[in-house]
Every structure is written in C-alpha cells, then in structure tokens.
C-alpha cells in the first residue's frame, strides 16, 4: 500500500486533518495507516494498479465523509477536510447498546461512532475488537485513543462481508458481480454499491442525496490525486438497499455530519 499511498500523497489526500479547528488534530498518522493496511492482506493490493488505486480512493472517500470537517466554502474545497474528527459529533443518542448474549454491554461504556469508519454499537465493537486484537466491549475508547487500532477497525470493516452485503473490498477490487436479484434491485459494481453497503437504508434508492454527493466528491478528488479514472456507477440513486434486515437494523457506522 505504501507504494501507492506515499506519505506525501497521504498528506495531500487529508490536507487539513491537522488544522487547528479539527478535533482529531495530530491523531491520524501515516505510520498508523500503513500499519493497519499491512495487517489485512489484499487491502489496496489486489488486482492491477488501477484497481488498487480505486480501492484506496474509495476507502478514503467513504471514511473522509464520515469524519469530514469541510463546508461548501472551505479553503481548498470541502473535500480537502477529511479525517477532521475521530469521534461522533453532536450528542450521540444513548449508549448504542443492543441486548446481546455474545457481546453484552459493559457498565458505563458507550459504543458511539469512533475512528475513520465511525464504528458504532456493541455488536460491532465486539467483533472488531476480536479481529483486531483489543477488548471492544470493555475498552471501546481505545478506538479514539490509539491511531493504529482506529485505522484497523476501519480496514476491518472494509474487508469484512456482512451477508447479504459483500465486503467493500470485494466490490472495489473487482471480486463481486451482481446476482440476478442485485440487478433487479439496480445494484451494479462500482463506488455506489459501497455507499449502499455502508448506509444504503438511508441514502440509496431515493434519487440524489447530499450525503451521497459528499462521498462521491471525496472519491473523485482522491482519484484525481492518484491519477486514476473514477469507474462507473458512482451513485446509488436507483439502487435498492441490501436486504430487509440491512434496512431495519441500526447501521454499522454513524455519520459525523
């Protein structure tokens, strides 16, 4: 991954992450990103160079939307302000705790959005911690305190299939193709399916959506920096979300804005 995302490019992609107005100032480091990327074989290294660049642009595009500090008239444009936050902004509702025998909530712990992908809920912190190597139930705060762990939770989510959804990695690396039911639901390979995976129940199948447009704006900027074309099917305007269960359950991540 470091051969595609050099430290110089990383700093260009996330140009204002260390701005004085960003609450994550000094947190998201290049070394932490590379350590996390190297922990997941295949991430950003699958297929030809075009596929690799598109996957990495998509990863940063989606996570930058979740952590954005940009606004329409921001210096260098709104899409130069990814990774401005490491914790969910506003007043997160409750503890994000759902009754679970496998991942019972710990007393006094809150499972609101943290890290690049803004991981949320006890039933996501538990599996993420198990996969990455931390106690997600008893120590969710580490996702906002350890940059490498934080990046690892984001890459874990990116690489992990959640049936009936494919993994974001498989979509962007070219390993997923639409089934008959996918085609009937308007889902076709491309960046739009990744948005559908992440937040389809709220953003997809409803025509143009400002949150979708923000995700696409980041992705296009990053593709331009990496010198790769965008590919097709960037939006999910006409895509139905994946499965009834995926629509009715609380989504994995919480949008910052």
Annotated catalytic sites, by residue?
66
Q: Which two tokens stand for residue 126?
A: 């538990």
CB neighbour burial string for 144-162, b if at least 16 within 10 angstroms, e if fewer: bebbebbbbbbbbbbbbeb
List CB contacts of 13: < 8 A, sequence separation 6 or more. Answer: 5, 60, 64, 82, 222, 225
Location of structure tokens 């700093």: 11
SS3 state of residue 23 = coil
Element (H, E) at 127: helix 122-132
CA distance linking residue 126 with residue 118, whole number of Å: 14
Per the rule left: phi > 0, alpha: psi between -120 and 50, beta: everything else, 208 is beta
């Amino acid at each position: 991954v470091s051969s595609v995302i050099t430290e110089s490019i990383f700093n260009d992609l996330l140009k204002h992450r260390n701005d004085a107005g960003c609450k994550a100032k000094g947190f998201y480091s290049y070394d932490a990103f590379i350590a996390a990327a190297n922990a997941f074989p295949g991430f950003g290294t699958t297929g030809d160079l075009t596929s690799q660049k598109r996957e990495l642009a998509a990863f940063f595009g989606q996570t930058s939307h979740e952590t954005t500090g940009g606004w329409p008239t921001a210096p260098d444009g709104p899409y130069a302000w990814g990774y401005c936050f490491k914790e969910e902004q506003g007043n997160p509702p409750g503890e994000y705790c759902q009754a679970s025998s496998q991942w019972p909530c710990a007393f006094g712990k809150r499972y609101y959005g943290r890290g690049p992908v803004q991981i949320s809920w006890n039933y996501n912190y538990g599996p993420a911690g198990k996969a990455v190597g931390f106690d997600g139930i008893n120590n969710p705060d580490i996702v906002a305190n350890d940059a490498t762990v934080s990046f690892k939770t984001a890459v874990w989510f990116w690489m992990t299939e959640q049936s009936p959804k494919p993994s974001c990695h498989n979509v962007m690396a070219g390993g997923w193709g639409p089934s008959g039911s996918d085609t009937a639901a308007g889902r076709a390979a491309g960046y739009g399916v990744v948005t559908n995976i992440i937040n389809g129940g709220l953003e997809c199948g409803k025509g143009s959506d400002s949150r979708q447009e923000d995700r696409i704006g980041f992705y296009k900027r990053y593709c331009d920096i990496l010198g790769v074309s965008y590919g097709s099917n960037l939006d999910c305007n006409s895509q139905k979300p994946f499965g009834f269960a995926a629509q009715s359950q609380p989504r994995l991540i919480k949008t910052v804005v």
